[in-house]
Amino acid sequence: MSDFTSLAAEAAEWTEYAKTWSPPVPPAGATPQQIREGANRNTAKLFDTVVGRPEAGLTVTEYTVAVTESLMETETKEEVTIPVRLYRPEGTTDNATLPVYVFFHGGGYFLGSLDTEDANCRYLALQTGVAVLNVGYRHTPEHRFPAAADDAWAAFQWVASEEAAKLGLDARRVVVGGISAGATLAISVALRANEKQQKVAGLVLTVPATVHPDHFPVQLIQGGIDNSSLVQNADAPFINAARLRGFLNMYEPTPPTHAAVSPLLVDESAFRGLGSVAVHVAGRDPLRDEGLLFEQKLRAAGVATTLYTYAGLPHAFMSHPTLPSTAVWRSRMWEDVKRIAGQ
């Protein structure tokens, strides 16, 4: 059994940062759509202002990906399209093929957009020499499970399409990753690819959600549920117990043990043969233990893993670009992508 409680003590950098920051409060009576639009707009503005939005050295192009009936698990076979944004670093020859990092943003399946991730995706492509595909999957409350997972799979399949090959993307070197719910989507893609013998080069997972809280494997934690991060960090910033439940209530995963929601419950044999995986876990996060337990499961399955822990920091610390640990995370994540893509 594991005990990860020592990672929760608040980090000094967060204590100082919290003196100047307070969580945004949505306007009274705002609809979910208004809340989402306001939050996304503020996030995009923050990163554009603090991180910057480099233009030179990149070709940035918008595409649409068809989520066809054959790619869906949902019973409603309404075919849809989703937007994706491709960032290709310049300086390569016209016929050169590039590895691809397929990226899924976080936000509890509710928040996030192509624009909230734009600055980070631009830097990622420039720093790694890897093409980056920023995926605009569908969100709650309009679209519930498994819409986001279907979209994630469709984006991965698009990278292997003739259209993507003409763009110089190498379907043999595809790294998949994301943040929070986006990391969960990345895992779902890898599992599905493994099942279909397609494979991914590897995964880059930041604060992943790997199990529905109703099915958390308490037997794996020393002291049981009361000693788990779900309880220890129930009142943490960004994602607390109530907000986590709210996101899942909107997503309505059925069943909650589905592999696309609770990959921690999947038999380890399903992960065998998976490429290298990097896992970034925050210590003051309700999702901390499931991220650490997931990394243990991967190692038990013979997967090569790299684990990073950020003691005393809350779930979405990397969404605050002035934090010192955000710069550390970003640098490590760039190296993860380069290493796994073979750059």
Catalytically active residues, by annotation: 180, 285, 315
> In Å, what is the CA distance from 112 to each residue of 208, 230, 331?
16, 24, 22
Residue 1: burial class (beta carbons within 10 Å; 0-12, 13-18, 19+): exposed
What the block records as the tokens of 39 is 């939050």
Q: Nearest to residue 189, comparing CAs of 159, 149, 136? A: 149
Alpha helices in the chain (DSSP H): 12-18, 32-50, 118-128, 147-159, 162-166, 181-195, 229-232, 241-251, 288-300, 324-341
| Residues 197/333, Cβ–Cβ less than 8 Å | no
Closest to 186 measured CA to CA, from 77, 333, 30, 289: 333
Helix orientation angle between 181-195 and 147-159, rounded to the nearest 10 degrees: 60
Residues in CB range of 45: below 8 A, 6 or more apart: none
Per the CB < 8 A criterion, the answer to whether 239 and 285 are in contact is: yes
Question: What φ, ψ does residue 179 adopt, rounded to 5°?
Answer: -120, 130
10: number of Cβ within 10 Å: 16
Beta bridge partners of 2: 221
C-alpha 36/C-alpha 32 separation (Å) is: 6
